Structure 1
C-alpha cells in the first residue's frame, strides 16, 4: 500500500515474521573457525573467544596483504644496512650488474643499479643530482610514488637537481630545483644508468645545507655480497611494519590501513608486544597471507592480469596507484609488491619507445607449472617490438629473487648481450632446463630439478606492436 507516494511502513504479521528472521542470528552457526553458539542472538562465552580469535586472524591477514609494500622497503633498508649503507651519503651500486648472490625481489641483470635511502629526518631538505641518460625513481617508505628522475622525469635524461623536503617542512625553498614534498622521512632512491657505472657515479646526494660545497658520496659495490632484502612471511613481518609505523608520521598512512594495524596492536608511540595467544595468531595470519599473496601473484583472477596465453601483466589496471574507476585494486597491489619493487607510472603505463614493459608466467604451454627438472623452449619471434633491447630473467618462485644455479650468477638471456644465436629468420630459440641444449649454452638458462621457477620478459623501450599485440610472445614448450 502507498500513502502520499511513500512506501507504507505497515506490514502484515507474516512480513514481520520474515523481517525478524532476516535480522536474527540462529543459535548455531558453523564456520571455518569452528562452531558458534548463541542464546537468542547473544554469543556464549566459548563463542566470544572463537570470534575474537577469528577477528584477530582476519585482521592480521588483512594487514599482511595490505602492508606488503611497506614491509618490503623496511626489509630492503635492513639488507643495505647490513652492507654498511646506513646513510644517504653512501650509495650501493652494481658493477657490472645485479646477480643472484643477494636475495632481492626480481632485479634485472641488464642495467646498472644504484640505490640508497634518503633520511629527511636526519638531513632535512636533501638534494639528489640525477645522472644523465638514466631512469631513476624515488618512492616513499610506504612504497608510494614520489617522482621519476632522468629520462621519464622532468629533466628528460639531461640530468637535473631534485630537492626533497621532509613532512611538515615550512622553511625557505631555493630556486633551481625540481621540488618534491614526501609524506615520509625515509625515501627509497633507485638509480638506473644506461651508460653504466661511469654515468651512475655522476649522481650526487647531499643535504641542502651543503649545496655550496657538498661532501663526496661513498660508493659500495654490492654484487660480491650475499644479503637479504626480502620481507618475512611469518610473525616477523608485523615487527617490520611496526618499525615503519614508529618512524613515520601518523598522517603518512591512510586511516583504513592505520585502523587495521591498530586492531592488532601496531600504533605509533606504543610498544608492539603481542602476548603468546596473539603471537600464534599473527604467525598463522602471516603464513596464510603469504599463501594468498602467492596465489594473487602466480594465479591472478582479475581478467586484466592476463596478457594472453599463460602470460600475466604485473600492473593490473595500468595505474601506479592501483586504482580503477575510483576503487583501490587491493589484489593487484599485493600481486605486484609481493614479487616486484619500484613504483612509477613509467612502469605501470609505459609509452611507446620509452620506459619498459613486462610479462611473466609460471606455466608452460600446456598449463603445467614450470618444473626445474624439465627442459623448455621459448621462441622469440623475429622483430621484437623494442627500441632498445629485450631480456628474460629467471627467478626462484619461493624467494622471488634471481634463481641460484651452478652455471652462472646471471640467470638470464638478453638481446644486447652479444652472445645470443639467432635462427635464419631472425627469431631466437631460448632454452630453460637443468642441462644445456646441443649446440652450446649461449641461449640457455639453467634451472634446478625439484624446484619451480618463473621468467620475467622485459622490453626496454617497447614499441606499438607490443601494446596492440600484433606481436606476441610464444609459450614455454616442454621438450621432454
Structure 2
C-alpha cells in the first residue's frame, strides 16, 4: 500500500450509504502483519509523538473497525453468505449458531438470534417486544458504533410483559412519544440490536419463532402516523475484508468517525480527534488527509504494532482467574470505560458484543485447573459441579466448546456444541449428586454420552455463559470475586 495522498478507498462522507468470509476478529488480529511500505528509516527518525498518536488511534479504532466488519457483512453486503437484512428491518435466525456461522468469534449457540441495525440519521425508530411467558429468558442488547452497550430491554431489564421502546440518534431533540415506554439515546448515527430468545430444546423451536414474530421495528413517523422526513443521503460504504482492513485500519477509522459525531458525552473525544490530524487522520476524509513523511509512515506501523500488543496484553487483565477460569468483568458503556479506550478494545477482542456482567457473566478458559493448556489431541478432561452447586442464575447457564485456534464452534459426530441447564433432565448425575461433563474429542461411551461435550483435535477454548446471574449469595458477582466459583477442569487420563 502506498501511503501518500490517496488510499484504496475514499472515506469522504459522500453521504451517498458485516464482508468477512471468516471472522470479524481475524481482520483486526491480522493488522500486526499490515502491509506498510518498507523504508530505511531508523528508530531515531521516528517521532515518538507520532508513534504514540498512532497507537492511541489504533486502540481507539480497534472495536469500531471490528464492528464495521460485522455490520458490513450482516447489513450491507448483499452478496455475503452472512447477510441478514437491510437497515431498519428485523432479521430472525430461527435456529442456533453452528460451525457454519463464522462472522463473530465465540458465537452463542444457546439462543436463536434476531438482529436489526437502525439508521438513525433521518429519524428515530420504535421497536416493540411482545409479552413472553415468564419462564423464557430474552434480552435486547443495544450497541452503538463505539461498541458501547447503551441500553437493554428484556427479562432482567424490563420484564417479560412486552412494551414499546424508541432509539434516537445523536441529533434528535424531541420528546418521548405517547405509548413509548422508554427512549434510548444513541451517540452514533447507527445502532445495532442483538436479540436473544431462549430455546428450551429442539422441540421448542416453533415457540421461539412465534416470539420472534412479535419483535417489530418502525420508523418514528410511521409509528406516529405522520409524514416521513426527508430520507438521509446514501453512504458509499467501503468494502472491508481481511486483506483490506489489514492494509488500512486508519483509513477505516477516518471513515467511521464521520458516523460518530462528537456530540453529547462523546464531546470529550474532540481533543483526541484533533491529535489524530497530526498523523493524517481526519473524520470523513481519505486517509491520509495530508502528505506524510517517511518517518510518519514508520510511526504508523510501529504504533499499530504496539497498539495490538497492548490490547492483547490487557485482555487477559479484564476480570480475575479462578480455578483456571478467567471471569470477565464487563460493563461496556461510556461511563464505565470513562475514556479507557484500551479497556473498550480489550472487551471487543475478548468477545465483541459481550453482554454486561449483570446481564450475563462469562468465565472463559484455555487451561486446566493446573494452568496447563487444554488440548483435545493430547488429553481427556472433566469438569464436575458438586451437588447443589450448579451455576447460580435466574435464567440459564451453558458451557460451550470452541476451537482454540479460531474461537469458532467445531464440527463433531453428535452436532453438540454446548451443554446447558435445559439439558439437565437428560444427563446423568453421580452417586453423590454431583454432575460431571466429559470434555474429549472421542465419545466417552454410550453410557456417558449424554454428558459428553465434544472437543477439537487440538487446542480447546471453553466459555461459560451465566444468563442473568443471581446477585444474592451464592453468586458469581462481582465477577471473579463472588461466593460461587466455577470448578476447575481436570485431566481424566
Is the aligned partner of 1:290 residue 2:299?
Answer: no
Correspondence for 2:349 among 306, 315, 338 = 338
SS in 1 for 2:467: strand
Correspondence for 2:188 among 172, 184, 187 = 184
What is the deviation of 1:398?
A: 4.4
**Please, what TM-score do these two structures have when normalized by structure 2?**
0.72
Partner of 2:18: none
CA distance in 1, matches of 2:62, 2:246: 12
CA distance in 2, matches of 1:76, 1:113: 15
Q: 1:254-403 to 2 correspondence within 5 Å?
A: 254-255=269-270, 257-259=272-274, 261-273=276-288, 282=300, 285-297=303-315, 299-300=316-317, 305-315=319-329, 320-321=333-334, 323=336, 328-342=339-353, 347-348=356-357, 350=358, 355-373=359-377, 374-383=379-388, 384=390, 385-400=392-407, 402-403=408-409
CA distance in 1, matches of 2:42, 2:275: 22
CA distance in 2, matches of 1:459, 1:270: 43
Higher relative contact order (CA 8 A, sep 6+): 2
Partner of 1:59: 53
Q: 1:11-410 to 2 correspondence within 5 Å?
A: 50-52=45-47, 54-81=48-75, 82=80, 83-85=82-84, 87-103=86-102, 104-121=104-121, 123-133=122-132, 134-153=138-157, 155-171=158-174, 173-177=176-180, 178-194=182-198, 196-211=208-223, 234-251=246-263, 252=266, 254-255=269-270, 257-259=272-274, 261-273=276-288, 282=300, 285-297=303-315, 299-300=316-317, 305-315=319-329, 320-321=333-334, 323=336, 328-342=339-353, 347-348=356-357, 350=358, 355-373=359-377, 374-383=379-388, 384=390, 385-400=392-407, 402-407=408-413, 410=416
Correspondence for 2:461 among 451, 454, 463 = 454
CA distance in 2, matches of 1:372, 1:78: 35
Partner of 1:21: none
Is the aligned partner of 1:466 residue 2:475?
Answer: yes
CA distance in 2, matches of 1:284, 1:97: 41
Cα shift readout 1:348-391 (whole Å, capped 9, x = no counterpart): 3x2xxxx3322112221221222232322111222212333221
What is the deviation of 1:79?
A: 1.8
Instruction: Structure 1: give runs of 5+ residues left out of the alignment.
Output: 1-45, 215-227
CA distance in 1, matches of 2:250, 2:409: 27
What is the deviation of 1:161?
A: 1.0
What is the aligned length?
404
- CA, structure 1 residues 163+465, in 2 after alignment: closer, same or farther (shift >3 Å)? same
- CA, structure 1 residues 386+430, in 2 after alignment: closer, same or farther (shift >3 Å)? same
CA distance in 2, matches of 1:476, 1:264: 47
Cα shift readout 1:153-186 (whole Å, capped 9, x = no counterpart): 3x42211111222222245652221222222110
What is the deviation of 1:279?
A: 6.2
Is the radius of gyration larger for structure 1 or structure 2? 1
Asked whether the 8 Å contact 2:97–2:112 carries over to 1, the reply is yes
SS in 1 for 2:345: helix
Asked whether the 8 Å contact 1:135–1:192 carries over to 2, the reply is yes
CA distance in 2, matches of 1:310, 1:376: 13
What is the deviation of 1:429?
A: 1.4
What is the deviation of 1:98?
A: 1.9
CA distance in 1, matches of 2:312, 2:150: 27
CA distance in 1, matches of 2:412, 2:297: 39
What is the deviation of 1:332?
A: 3.6
Partner of 1:36: none
Structure 1 or 2: more strand by fraction: 1
**Please, what TM-score do these two structures have when normalized by structure 1?**
0.73
What is the deviation of 1:423?
A: 1.9
- CA, structure 1 residues 268+96, in 2 after alignment: closer, same or farther (shift >3 Å)? same
CA distance in 1, matches of 2:420, 2:346: 25
RMSD of the alignment, in Å? Answer: 3.4
- CA, structure 1 residues 460+361, in 2 after alignment: closer, same or farther (shift >3 Å)? same
